A = this chain, B = another copy of it.
């Protein structure tokens, strides 16, 4: 029985071969640069995909919340890192998790560092998150007073171990990657040389998908932590991080109506399935996803401009090419490549592989 026979409502398809190839390619890139790949599992959020990662030699992963770390714990990971400025209200729950899973967190202020000093009864590693220009979170790269304050406070607990510096250059989504990577290399290199006398084992980590995908010069950075590359998506393809053939997920959506006069196809698939990330073309037209043909063995690109032009809670309206209109009928199932696979996967909460296997995703 084809996976297609299982689909009656919006379903997020996962092409295992593409996903494994994305993992393998990034693992090989890290190996080539003698770096440690610690993928961010905010995208996949899946134990099963974690097993595929392990087959590529990956031993540590990253999450964006404690609850996601709990979900992915006790799967044999050497360490799980929570790449989010640690939320001090979760200190006791982190301590419980650290009893059964080696963990590290991210610190950017004294208050939370002190809270962990006061709470932890099990060992937890920590990175100091550095802001070298992105401006979202982190200690300013030149704020040695705060860096040393965090290190000094952490020393009060034998359970809080400094592991190194983490820098997420998220502005590679908007700007000049080579320039941003030069800043990133310089910032992390400076910090490493400044602190490695006292902390000889410290490592530096960076990791955004656009940068990790296209950069070949990582300087002396030790670790890579990209997330989205596991699936990629149309946003990444538009940035040049991947081609559309590298996108490992597609939403299967039932066709519920056709308005040939308007060249529109109504599908069951909306904001609660895709989330609402959007790409704009040069004329300001919105694109919430690109139509692909579903086949017995997966999907094929159409490249004819057919795309989701608008979505509401459950409705999606496809602007269809004449060719697509000529092929499709009510009750068919179309494929849609997502704009932002992390958000789409989070909305859907599970995957269906092309051999009809349901793959887990963290809840909520």
Query: Cβ of B42 and Cβ of A109 under 8 Å apart?
Result: no
Q: For the complex, would chain A's binding face be called helix, strand, loop or mixed by DSSP majority?
A: mixed
A313 within 8 A of B: yes
Kindly identify which residue among B111, B257, B313 contacts A329, using a CB–CB cutoff of 8 Å: B111
Distance (whole angstroms) from the CB of A168 to the closest CB of chain B: 10
Bound: A268/B363 CA distance, A: 17
Bound: A313/B170 CA distance, A: 12
Kindly identify which residue among B8, B266, B313 contacts A64, using a CB–CB cutoff of 8 Å: B313
A85 within 8 A of B: yes
Contacting residues of chain A (83-121) with chain B, CB-CB under 8 angstroms: 84-90, 93, 108-109, 111-112, 115
Interface size on A, residues (CB 8 A): 53
Listed stretches A13-21, A195-203, A343-351; interface member: A343-351
The verdict on A9 contacting B111 (CB below 8 Å), with A254-B89, A257-B137, A313-B42 known, is no
The verdict on A314 contacting B88 (CB below 8 Å), with A109-B257, A329-B111, A364-B348 known, is no
Query: Cβ of B331 and Cβ of A111 under 8 Å apart?
Result: yes
Query: Cβ of A84 and Cβ of B137 under 8 Å apart?
Result: no
A66, A314, A347: most-surrounded residue (chain B CB, <10 A): A314
A256 within 8 A of B: yes
Query: Cβ of B136 and Cβ of A317 under 8 Å apart?
Result: yes
Distance (whole angstroms) from the CB of A118 to the closest CB of chain B: 12
A9, A65, A89: most-surrounded residue (chain B CB, <10 A): A89
Distance (whole angstroms) from the CB of A215 to the closest CB of chain B: 21
Chain A, residues 107-147, CB within 8 Å of chain B (1/0): the string is: 01101100100000000000000000000110000000000
CB neighbours of A333 from chain B (8 A): 89
The verdict on A313 contacting B111 (CB below 8 Å), with A8-B87, A9-B66, A331-B88 known, is no
A275 within 8 A of B: yes
Kindly identify which residue among B8, B276, B310, B317 contacts A277, using a CB–CB cutoff of 8 Å: B276
CB neighbours of A317 from chain B (8 A): 136
Query: Cβ of B343 and Cβ of A364 under 8 Å apart?
Result: no
Query: Cβ of A8 and Cβ of B111 under 8 Å apart?
Result: no
Query: Cβ of A364 and Cβ of B349 under 8 Å apart?
Result: yes
Kindly identify which residue among B9, B84, B108 contacts A87, using a CB–CB cutoff of 8 Å: B9
Distance (whole angstroms) from the CB of A343 to the closest CB of chain B: 6
Bound: A333/B65 CA distance, A: 17
Bound: A342/B272 CA distance, A: 9
A295 within 8 A of B: no
A54 within 8 A of B: no
CB neighbours of A66 from chain B (8 A): 9
Distance (whole angstroms) from the CB of A183 to the closest CB of chain B: 19
A153 within 8 A of B: no
CB neighbours of A346 from chain B (8 A): 272, 313
Query: Cβ of B315 and Cβ of A84 under 8 Å apart?
Result: yes
Query: Cβ of A256 and Cβ of B85 under 8 Å apart?
Result: yes
List, sorted by A's number, 29 A–B pairs whose CB atoms are closer than 8 Å. Answer: A7-B89, A9-B66, A9-B89, A9-B90, A42-B313, A42-B314, A64-B313, A84-B268, A84-B315, A85-B257, A87-B268, A88-B254, A90-B254, A109-B257, A109-B258, A111-B330, A111-B331, A112-B330, A136-B266, A136-B315, A137-B266, A137-B315, A170-B312, A271-B275, A275-B276, A313-B342, A313-B343, A347-B347, A348-B364
